[in-house]
Structure 1
Amino acid sequence: MKKIVVLFTMFTVLISAAQTMQDSITFDPQKQLNAAQRLLSGNYGKAVTVGAYGELTYNQPEAKNGELDVQRLVLLFGYKFNDKTQFVTELELEHVEEVFVEQAFVNYAIASNVSLRGGLMLVPMGIVNEFHEPTTFNGVERPAVDNVIVPSTWREIGVGVTGRFNDLSLGYQAYVFNGFKSTASDGQSGLSGFLSGSSGLRGGRQKAIQSTVDSPTLSVKLDYYGLPGLRLGLSGYTGKTQAEDDIEEFDGANIGVTMLGLDARYAYQRFTARGQFVYASLKDTEAYNVATGKDLGSALQGWYLEGAYNLLPQSNQQRLFAFLRYEQYDTHADTAGSLVRNDAYNRTDITTGLSYHIAPGVVLKGDYQFRDNALAGDQVDDRLNFGIGVWF
């Protein structure tokens, strides 16, 4: 807790000490748009809008072979039926071998500050799950908190409402989704599980692939824009995981998930900063672990703080950000029943590097990650990363 207080104090001091104005739509969090928002706002009289983003990465763990990967290529398509009705979809190719639909929803504008949405959508939790285009974040890899706990890219099928109260500088989203899938039949008389201590909730994403649903979940997010350069987010998610008809009555087939997220983004002159905290409380994990043989914790927690500074003059079109991110995350923040806490799941990453935006929509990245966990004597490989990212 003392570390958290010290780091948040440093975060505040850095904000107050920053100089030179940051006015780019890419880096000002109050103006920043994600891919879907750009499609919805960028028709300019055209019926069809097309875009894409992609990442090519190189990861070199200490004393091991490196890996080159076309990590993802996402094709973006938007269609404007009329002034009120639009369709947005994202088609993702991962590792040159897997194809997914990342988003596919209809947006119907009831008024200037209220829209109804239905389809496959991103769950609004934290920063990166909604803003994961490679030019919008520092570091070759997304923060680990946004992979293990949130986990990006987290999307489900649902319906809801979104908009903003301009007088209050407050944006809002509220959706009803299907939830994580926690279990399946093991083909005999037991259950296999998708959630675990090592990967958290990540394995439970259904990704709209013949998703099963037996109880809806609720997701809500509020964004505040009232102070210059600052964007604050409060996210909430609650509901139960989903199980198929033949096993949903088994003890441990489903668990309850309640998640709270806080996030902040700031930009002033050549300085940018962001921070995020996510806590998830899980119910009935003892029965789930007994039924599946997994080691899922009853609480997951993670947070990070990051500061970055543009080393080039603000008048330049190019930007070169030097950044530092401190991240701590624990998928065994608490455990239930006889499950013993595994300190290997209590992890710390320190990432530092450069993001060189050679043109709007093109970034070259390089960073080094110092990685560790709380298990005595355990060795986690540090990692060198390089990447190329594009978005248009």
Structure 2
Amino acid sequence: MKTKTTILLVLVSTFTFAQTVRDSITFDPQKQQNAAQSILSGNYGKSVIVGAYGELTYNQPESKNGELDVQRLVLLFGYKFNDKTQFVTEVEFEHVEEVYIEQAFVNYSLASNVSLRGGLMLVPFGIINEFHEPTTFNGVERPSVDNVIVPTTWREIGFGIAGRFNNLSLGYQAYVFNGFKSTSFDGQGGVNGVLKGSNALRGGRQKGIQSTIDSPTLSVKFDYYGFPGLRLGLSGYFGDTQADDDVEDIDGANIGISMVGLDMRYAYQRFTARGQYVYGSLSGTDSYNDLTGNDLGSALQGWYLEGAYNLLPTSKQQRLFAFVRYEQYDTHAETAGLLTRNDAYNRNDLTTGLSYHIAPGVVFKGDYQFRNNALSGSKVDNRLNFGIGVWF
């Protein structure tokens, strides 16, 4: 009995003292870390590290009932095997009823400027897909560009390298992943297509769930941080979609994807700004639509600009940001074959509100969104949002 008690006390002590404080009120983009980076750099000689982030939201569309939601709660775990080898995982609970593994990868440090990584990882594209902890961005909801164009949270299984060259002020990542799933056999002689015009590639995310792969894809990102307070990113994603064995040889079962993105983050005293532009070219969509009956566009693009100002003195630990963000996103930027462009897919949002960081890792948010699209006579409901976000 004594032996069991001693073991239990050791485990509890290890779990307790291995936790680290994450200061999410670091708005200098050159010093910001996401959850995985924080785990990898935060062991401080301990073997186990734990943490979590989560957000509760209230969305009130104009003239409709509001919705309250525990949108997500993510549990973070890391383990340090030795000075070179670490494991990182995130277990996500969505809407109190769905459970996903958001990340699960091994990081092996070959040298100070290069690490090998393998497992379920975030695809390094844009800002929000890697930095989506609720205390790191303004607005109750993530930007629509990072939902419809970049299908955040976008993660797949793969391997590759990551690191930085501080003498060049350059960070880099390069991975080989499985791709989006495009089609499957419906069991009745037909083909199901999961990619469509309204949200483009989002339905094809495989998320590490018995993922189909027949042709790997390439993902690369470079970050430049050579000017004080400024961080610039260049992302690329290239490859073909994946289809089940029963349909992969049918004409139109797969499409080709080439996506590039530019992003910018800047901070100076009480002012912060960020922006992003994404363009994606999809090949073979005419055959894909003929096969599936869907309306997938042959090009998608989106961009946004955001500015924020801290209304509290910099001497205060708390921050109160007033912000405004304008974004435009179009999943029918181009269409192929006989498909007619749908102007309802050419959308824009204007979001303005407040982010009140009451302590490192705790934020209260409120905003109002003016939403529109290019379809004549169409009406999109504006929306009022409130939220609470935590990260530790």
TM range (shorter): over 0.9
Q: Which residue of 1 aligns with 2:80?
A: 80
Aligned equivalents of 2:320 and 2:355: distance in 1? 6
Residue 109 of structure 2 is aligned to residue 118 of structure 1: no
Q: Secondary structure at the match of 2:46?
A: coil
Read off the aligned partner of 2:352 and give its amino acid letter. Answer: T
Residue 214 of structure 2 is aligned to residue 237 of structure 1: no
Q: CA deviation at 1:102?
A: 0.1
Deviation per CA, 1:263-317: give whole Å up to 9, x if none.
0000000000000000010000001111111100000000000000000000000
Aligned equivalents of 1:367 and 1:245: distance in 2? 46
Aligned equivalents of 1:379 and 1:132: distance in 2? 29
Q: Which residue of 2 aligns with 1:360?
A: 360
Call closer, same or farther: CA 1:255–1:37 in 2, change over 3 Å.
same
Q: Which residue of 1 aligns with 2:247?
A: 247
Aligned equivalents of 2:49 and 2:65: distance in 1? 41
Aligned equivalents of 1:251 and 1:27: distance in 2? 49
Contact 2:24/2:135 (<8 A) preserved: no
Deviation per CA, 1:144-176: give whole Å up to 9, x if none.
010011110000000000000111000000000
Q: Which of the pair has more CA radius of gyration?
A: 2
Q: CA deviation at 1:85?
A: 0.1
Aligned equivalents of 1:237 and 1:185: distance in 2? 26
Q: CA deviation at 1:235?
A: 0.2
Q: Which residue of 1 aligns with 2:20?
A: none
Q: Which residue of 1 aligns with 2:143?
A: 143
Aligned equivalents of 2:379 and 2:350: distance in 1? 15
Read off the aligned partner of 1:96 and give its amino acid letter. Answer: V
The aligned length equals: 370
Q: Which residue of 1 aligns with 2:341?
A: 341
Contact 2:92/2:100 (<8 A) preserved: yes
Contact 2:24/2:361 (<8 A) preserved: no
Deviation per CA, 1:203-246: give whole Å up to 9, x if none.
00000000000000000000000000000000000000001111
Deviation per CA, 1:7-28: give whole Å up to 9, x if none.
xxxxxxxxxxxxxxxx986211
Q: Which residue of 1 aligns with 2:188?
A: 188
Read off the aligned partner of 1:331 and give its amino acid letter. Answer: T
1:210-289 to 2 correspondence within 5 Å? Answer: 210-289=210-289
Call closer, same or farther: CA 1:320–1:25 in 2, change over 3 Å.
closer
Residue 155 of structure 2 is aligned to residue 170 of structure 1: no
Aligned equivalents of 1:75 and 1:141: distance in 2? 20
Aligned equivalents of 1:190 and 1:283: distance in 2? 22
Q: Secondary structure at the match of 2:37?
A: helix
Runs of 4+ residues over 4 Å off in structure 1: none
Contact 1:57/1:71 (<8 A) preserved: yes
Q: Secondary structure at the match of 2:181?
A: coil
Aligned equivalents of 1:350 and 1:185: distance in 2? 40
Q: Which residue of 1 aligns with 2:370?
A: 370
Q: CA RMSD in A?
A: 0.9
Q: Which residue of 2 aligns with 1:63?
A: 63
Contact 2:25/2:361 (<8 A) preserved: no
Aligned equivalents of 1:188 and 1:302: distance in 2? 37
Contact 2:297/2:331 (<8 A) preserved: yes
Residue 197 of structure 2 is aligned to residue 197 of structure 1: yes
Aligned equivalents of 1:340 and 1:234: distance in 2? 32
Contact 1:370/1:383 (<8 A) preserved: yes
Deviation per CA, 1:99-123: give whole Å up to 9, x if none.
0000000000000000000000000
Q: Which residue of 2 aligns with 1:132?
A: 132
Contact 1:85/1:108 (<8 A) preserved: yes
Q: Secondary structure at the match of 2:288?
A: helix
Q: Which residue of 1 aligns with 2:326?
A: 326
Aligned equivalents of 2:187 and 2:259: distance in 1? 32
Read off the aligned partner of 2:378 and give its amino acid letter. Answer: D
Contact 2:25/2:360 (<8 A) preserved: no
Q: CA deviation at 1:35?
A: 0.1
Q: CA deviation at 1:200?
A: 1.2
Q: Which residue of 1 aligns with 2:93?
A: 93
Output the TM-score relative to the length of structure 1: 0.94
Read off the aligned partner of 2:69 and give its amino acid letter. Answer: D
Q: Secondary structure at the match of 2:164?
A: strand
Contact 2:105/2:117 (<8 A) preserved: yes
Aligned equivalents of 1:232 and 1:240: distance in 2? 27
Q: Which residue of 1 aligns with 2:307?
A: 307
Q: Which residue of 2 aligns with 1:49?
A: 49
Output the TM-score relative to the length of structure 2: 0.94
Read off the aligned partner of 2:362 and give its amino acid letter. Answer: V
Q: CA deviation at 1:186?
A: 1.8
Aligned equivalents of 1:365 and 1:201: distance in 2? 29
Aligned equivalents of 2:224 and 2:314: distance in 1? 26
Q: CA deviation at 1:29?
A: 0.2
Call closer, same or farther: CA 1:48–1:24 in 2, change over 3 Å.
closer
Q: Secondary structure at the match of 2:135?
A: helix
Q: CA deviation at 1:187?
A: 1.7
Q: CA deviation at 1:191?
A: 1.0
Contact 2:24/2:391 (<8 A) preserved: no
Q: Which residue of 2 aligns with 1:293?
A: 293
